[in-house]
Structure 1
Amino acid sequence: MVGAVPERVRRAVALLDLRGDEVVLEIGPGPGAAVELVLARHPGVRYVALDRSATAVARTTERNRAAVDDGRLAVRQGDIADPDLADTLGGPFDVAFAVNVNVFWTRAARTEASALAALLVPGGALWLVYETPGGDDGRVVDGVRASLAVPGLGAPLVVRDRAVAVGARRSPAGW
């Protein structure tokens, strides 16, 4: 049974537009609510959750123990910008996403965006979703657009629906 899932996470998962057979990477899963929601809806998805925090890794693992035990979920600790990490994640990924991971709008996180782009299959989607309690004054969107301005990603798409999401696809030809 799916536990409490914040509305921003529900909106982010809906944006992923999953068929049910994809390989998904989530950056910063926190307590693992999106993992739980996706795997409950799509038992054929293979999911990797990556967080820098040992506490978040433990919480995601505990909340989703059955999915870890049956091999549908791998939970890893690390930073997406670590060049040695890619080999341990098990991609390539059809979809990568993050909810309220502020590094993408607080600075031009091109190293992180490039690392994510490299992990996507050609045509794969990257979604960065933010809940903006004070309303979107443009700083989040402008910051995320700057981060996504990397080789291999197409033009960003912005979706506003009580949360703001910026998405981009890996170029079909790859690099």
Structure 2
Amino acid sequence: MSPLGKAYLEKLYHELRKMPEEERIDAVKEIESHIEEGLLSGQPEGVILKKLGEPRQLAKAFRSEYYKQGMKGGDWRDMLRMIGFYCTTGLLSVMVVPVLATIAYGFGFCAVLILIAGAVRSFGVSWINMDFGPYYTVPYEWSMAYALVIGGIVGGIAWISRTYLRRYLQFVSERYSHILPSGRG
């Protein structure tokens, strides 16, 4: 086997790091024998490796198979971790993701509308109301400044919500790959 094939097997072994050592070695041996059979039948090594696909995707398939077998009676700690993960992040995500997404994109859209309204009202359009409390209407000359302040506040809330939405989704994805035995490739 050439250095290319050996590098492929090393990468596969590395990508299988979330599996027990014995399972990792078995998977690498299986692929190694597949490569050797192809070489003996006269196929070029590059063609064989291309048919196998990227080591990351192949490792994902092996982990998935391992995980499916584990569901039939695997390690009880893995099962408890999976249950804990889905009960916490799964249920929490049902509330957190829609709320943060609605705030982020709804407030972002409103910030743009506020800025447009301020620009239009500064030209004397009377049907756009900008009231600061029940007894004070913002003068037309100050419409854009008022819109910049209010739009900035609303836009800031949108930006903060979007930032925390992205952080939450990254956290869940990271935890998913660390907790579940099959992981994410």
TM-score range, shorter chain: under 0.3
Larger radius of gyration: 2
Higher strand share: 1
Q: Relative to total residues, which structure has the larger helix share, 1 or 2?
A: 2
| Structure with the larger RCO, 1 or 2 (CA within 8 Å, 6+ apart) | 2
